[in-house]
Amino acid sequence: MNWNQLKDHLQKELDRYNELENLLSQPDIISDQEKFKQLSLEHRKLQSYIDDIKKYIHKIKAYEDAQEILNDPTADKELKEMAKLERDELEKELNEHVFEIETLLLEPDPNEGKNIIMEIRAGTGGEEAALFAADLFRMYSKFCDEMGYKVEILSLAETGLGGYKEIIFSVEGDRAYELLHQEAGAHRVQRIPVTESSGRIHTSAVTVAVLPEVEEADFQIDEKDLRIDVFRASGAGGQHVNKTESAVRITHIPTGVVVSCQDERSQHKNKSKAMKILRARLKQMYEEQHHKELADLKKNQVKTGDRSERIRTYNFPQGRVTDHRINFTMYNLDEFMEGKILPLLEALVKDEKLRKLEEKRKKQILTT
């Protein structure tokens, strides 16, 4: 391992952090809201792992100092023995943490640090799928409570038995995107539904979508491209819960994307929530189209996180949950459904970083 090269890369990150600290205290930057916001986001990302960067720079320098003593012909035998012990100990420690060090230098995800919008929809399985959609929302809510994240329901369509045909909610938290963006996909459940009298195990499916929240300044939508309809909000079963036309339906005419929101009694609040969802959906749509165009140009398939892909199975009779992407199985399904999902999420984060490192190494081999 070329520790000197790694140290130089880490030092660049530290230098950039110190530069940002200086820039964010300058009056001309503070007065420029857009620039200040942009630099603050970069600073916040670096700040989350700057202590690790400093720690590994210090250890690599100590390793190099010990090696320098060993290479010094004028150093006495006792000093060299001490330097060898220190070097070997540091080398062992650095090798044990080489993955952690290299991941500090990965190109950051442009959505890192952002809040997210999650959409859970009942798929195949009728009422049982809707009930499991409600269970998944409860699971994510409990996880967010434990992490100190704020959850806000943006849109909800319930069924008569308390299930959810669809629920859309936002999650605000420092690692919300990092930990939850890989939840997108099809979640399969195997269990005996409460609606099943014969006790047969059914297989149902729920789809989850995860969108990074998009600031209005980052993605403009032309008002003339929108058709906004208002109507009376209705509850499960179709009964009216509101005598005023507070519910809002927004149609983006160029793409045909439709978003409805009726959870608030205020038409203004419903419109604000609907615009938040629409902005995130449209930005993702345009980004996926961009990926497709790049894939066509390169004649190579680009993974876009197809929502129809089955990513996980929740098997209640056997008390296990399996993530099929990383062959990760846990046998504590009851606890998992109570929001104890961090071990699996962390395993997914690690796997994603390993894949990115492998791609980075392949690119380096091709360019050398």
User: What is the Cα–Cα distance from 136 to 80, expressed in whole angstroms?
Assistant: 60
- H or E element in which residue 280 lies: helix 267-298
Task: Show the tokens assigned to 15.
Answer: 């230098």
Residue 362 domain-assigned (yes or no): no
User: What is the Cα–Cα distance from 28 to 34, expressed in whole angstroms?
Assistant: 12
**Are residue 188 and residue 260 in the same domain, yes or no?**
no
**Are residue 344 and residue 282 in the same domain, yes or no?**
no
Burial-class residue 287 by CB neighbours within 10 Å (0-12, 13-18, 19+).
middle
**Are residue 11 and residue 144 in the same domain, yes or no?**
no
Task: Show the tokens assigned to 202.
Answer: 């059914």
Q: What is the 3-state secondary structure (H, E, C) of 33-69?
A: HHHHHHHHHHHHHHHCCHHHHHHHHHHHHHHHHHHHH
CA 244 from centre of chain: 38
Q: Look at the chain and report how many structural domains it folds into.
A: 3
CA 355 from centre of chain: 16
- pLDDT of 64 reads 93
User: What is the Cα–Cα distance from 261 to 155, expressed in whole angstroms?
Assistant: 5
Residue 156 domain-assigned (yes or no): yes
pTM recorded for the entire structure? 0.74
**Are residue 163 and residue 307 in the same domain, yes or no?**
yes
**Are residue 201 and residue 261 in the same domain, yes or no?**
no
**Are residue 8 and residue 59 in the same domain, yes or no?**
yes
**Are residue 145 and residue 167 in the same domain, yes or no?**
yes
Residue 360 domain-assigned (yes or no): no
Residue 169 domain-assigned (yes or no): yes
**Are residue 210 and residue 308 in the same domain, yes or no?**
yes
Using N-to-C axis directions, what is the helix angle for 126-147 and 342-367, rounded to 10°? Answer: 80
Residues 56 and 101: beta-carbon distance below 8 Å: yes
**Are residue 232 and residue 277 in the same domain, yes or no?**
yes
Q: Helices (H), strands (E): how many in the chain?
A: 11, 11
**Are residue 311 and residue 266 in the same domain, yes or no?**
no
Q: Tell me the pLDDT of the chain (368 aa) as tens digits.
A: 688 888 999 999 999 999 999 999 999 999 988 888 888 888 888 888 899 999 999 999 999 999 999 999 998 999 999 999 999 999 999 998 888 888 888 887 888 888 999 999 999 888 999 999 999 999 999 999 999 999 999 989 999 888 999 999 999 998 999 999 999 999 999 998 876 766 788 899 999 999 888 876 667 788 888 898 888 776 554 444 445 567 889 999 988 899 888 877 788 888 888 888 888 888 888 877 766 655 554 333 333 333 446 899 999 999 999 999 999 999 999 999 999 999 999 999 999 998 888 888 777 676 65
Using N-to-C axis directions, what is the helix angle for 33-47 and 3-23, rounded to 10°? Answer: 140
- pLDDT of 129 reads 94
- H or E element in which residue 12 lies: helix 3-23
User: What is the Cα–Cα distance from 147 to 134, expressed in whole angstroms?
Assistant: 20
Domain span holding position 289 = 220-298
Q: Which amino acid appears at position 6 of this protein?
A: L
Distance set, CA 59 to CA 3, 16, 64, 84 (Å): 10, 20, 9, 15
User: What is the Cα–Cα distance from 135 to 140, expressed in whole angstroms?
Assistant: 9
- pLDDT of 238 reads 44
User: What is the Cα–Cα distance from 234 to 245, expressed in whole angstroms?
Assistant: 10
Residues 338 and 172: beta-carbon distance below 8 Å: no
Length of the chain in terms of residues written: 368
User: What is the Cα–Cα distance from 130 to 120, expressed in whole angstroms?
Assistant: 10
